Amino acid sequence: MTESKRKVTHGGFHRRAFLKGSGAVAAATALQTEVASAVQQTTQVAKGRMTIDLEVNGKRQTLEVETRDTLLDVLRYQLDLTGAKPVSLDGSSGASTVLLDGKPIMASTALAVACDGKRVTTVEGLDDTVPAAFVAADAQQCGFCTPGFVVAVKAFLDKNPNASETAIREGLNGNICRCGTYSHVIQAAVSLVKGGSNG
């Protein structure tokens, strides 16, 4: 029997199968190394501080930020705009809602560097129309969720100026109020549709 035909087994394991298997592992390892090296070549991780430009509430701002800073960090701790709140850093409360190029986003989940060159509107940058409707409808208790709701109402009604109450309820479902002022918030939003102005 030639060497190639001889079956060498150890505990039921074939030598040939082992060698084949080893080859497969070696090939897989080589592939992993290749992939890792390709990832290393194509992935650029920004580190340290960067300079970004934002237009915040109509004013141009040039800011030095850490690459890990969120938009919320920059608004609150560099620009002293404390309307948007750090209630839920995953954005699930809606309390950090701001407008980025006119669209509502959670400032707590947006990296400041990703907002470079964009237009940010916070609750401080809105006119009095929506806040006045909230006051008239007594739509706040502790007020912690209120700025987020005000911005969300503004964004929603800008896009849906003739929204029904049902649509408003659905449109605001990304914002949470722990004090339970929902019915008054909806009342405020509905009043803006009825009033024909959503400033």
Q: Which is nearer to ligand FES, 29 or 173 (CB)?
A: 173
Which DSSP category does 87 fall into? S
Strand runs (DSSP E) across the chain, as ranges? 9-10, 13-14, 49-56, 59-66, 97-100, 103-106, 119-121
Distance of CA 53 to the CA centre of its chain: 19
Tell me the window of 27-35, 63-71, 105-113, 135-143 that interacts with ligand FES (CB under 6 A).
135-143
Single out the segment in contact with ligand FES by CB under 6 A; choices: 42-50, 103-111, 123-131, 143-151: 143-151
Least distance (Å) between residue 110 CB and ligand FES:
22
* 79, burial (CB in 10 Å: exposed 0-12, middle 13-18, buried 19+): middle
Instruction: Please report whether residue 140 would count as binding ligand FES according to CB under 6 A.
Output: yes
Question: CB-wise, 15 or 178, nearer to ligand FES?
Answer: 178
Structure tokens at 150: 């005000």
CA–CA distance, 85 with 55 (Å, rounded to integer)? 20
Amino acid (1-letter code) at residue 16: R
Residue 141 engages ligand FES in binding (rule: CB under 6 A): yes
- Minimum CB distance to ligand FES smaller for 122 or for 140: 140
**Residue 137 CB, nearest distance to ligand FES (Å)?**
12
Q: Does 177 bind ligand FES (CB under 6 A)?
A: yes
Cβ–Cβ under 8 Å, residues 153 and 172: yes
142: contact with ligand FES by CB under 6 A:
yes
Chain positions contacting ligand FES, by CB under 6 A: 140-146, 177-179, 181
